[in-house]
Amino acid sequence: MSELTATADADSAHTPVELILLRCPEVFCYKVPPQASAAGHRAEDWNLGEPRFTGRLHLVGVGSTLECRVLKQDDGDDAPVAVCPVRTGDKAPPVDAVVCAVVDSSRYFVFRCEDAKGRRAYLGVGFRERDQAYDFKASIDDFVRAARREATAAVLREAAEEAAASPVAAAPAVDMSLKGGLKLSFGDKASPSASPPRREAGAVPKLAPPPVPKLAPPPPVLEEDEFTAFSSAPAAPLEEGWADFADAFPEAS
């Protein structure tokens, strides 16, 4: 019995604690077309009157990762249909690249979802009320700030522990005082009767001439061909590889 208890305690120690930050009983999910311009996604291109399906949304904190879980609405099963992980590590992508707001509404977002096999797909998610969308975005911002503060505090604690355990910090202070009554002499002191040389009345001290300033070279003038090549440079290519939502998550169709 003790072995089973120890095994259960070990499993629970490695299992991260899940913290539900937000529950939204109704969200509308859409298939997202490829981004048409560099300005961003537009919800008006999603055919908002015909969502792909209607579901629920849970924001769940798992360690330093926040999972945006999309669930089915017609039953009480909490198995997510799609998961959009928002990571907060040093090498994690920006939050705006994972949960991207559209440019024409404050109630619609684009989720970069991932499945267990590491495949990615993009899903449009819309809220019925603006207050729900605001609470969703605010919950994400609060979690990311708290996770980054915790990571910074952990780094500072680790550095303080290493400094306290280092041999330099543990070494005793060295006594630098002189032993045996030794005395140091720094040469003869100036006689108190000595006075500084007097300057003749009306004499002007000779000063060195000021240095000649070095003029910076003028900026190079762009030739006509160089200016044309710079001004007509193509814009950065748009993100490619947008997958169909049903390809990565067939159970949602």
Q: Which amino acid is at 38?
A: A
Dist. CA 163–CA 170, nearest whole Å: 9
For the cut 50, the answer to whether the pLDDT of residue 72 exceeds it is yes
Which of 81-90, 127-136, 167-176 has the least mean pLDDT?
167-176
pLDDT at 130: 93
pLDDT above 50: residue 192:
yes
pLDDT-derived band at 252, boundaries 50, 70, 90: very low
If pLDDT is split at 50, 70 and 90, which confidence band does 164 have? confident
CB of 242 closer than 8 Å to CB of 114:
no
Residues in the chain: 253
Helix, strand, coil abundance in the chain, percent, nearest 5? 30, 20, 50
| Residue pair 80/70 in contact by the 8 Å Cβ criterion | yes
- Over 90: is that where the pLDDT of 129 sits? yes
Domains of the chain: 17-160+242-252 (2.30.29.30)
The Cα–Cα gap between 33 and 40 comes to: 12
Check pLDDT > 90 for residue 183.
no
Q: Is 249 left (phi over 0), alpha (psi -120 to 50) or beta?
A: beta
Which pLDDT tens digit goes with each residue over 209-245? Answer: 666 666 656 555 444 443 333 333 333 333 444 444 5
- Fill in the amino acid letter for 43: A
Quote the percentage of the chain above a pLDDT of 70.
Answer: 59
pLDDT digits (tens, 9 = 90+) for 137-152: 999 999 999 998 988 8
Which residue type occupies 94? P
The residues, ordered by sequence, that sit 6+ positions from 106 with a Cβ below 8 Å of its Cβ are 130, 133, 134
* Per-residue confidence (pLDDT) for residue 187, from 0 to 100: 61
Question: What is the average pLDDT across 94-115?
Answer: 92
pLDDT of residue 9: 52
Q: Are 79 and 96 in contact, with CB atoms under 8 Å apart? A: no
Type of residue found at 75: D
What pTM value is reported for the model? Answer: 0.61
Alpha carbon distance 92, 20 (integer Å): 21
The two tokens of residue 141 are 């911002």
- Distance between CA 139 and CA 60 in Å, rounded? 10
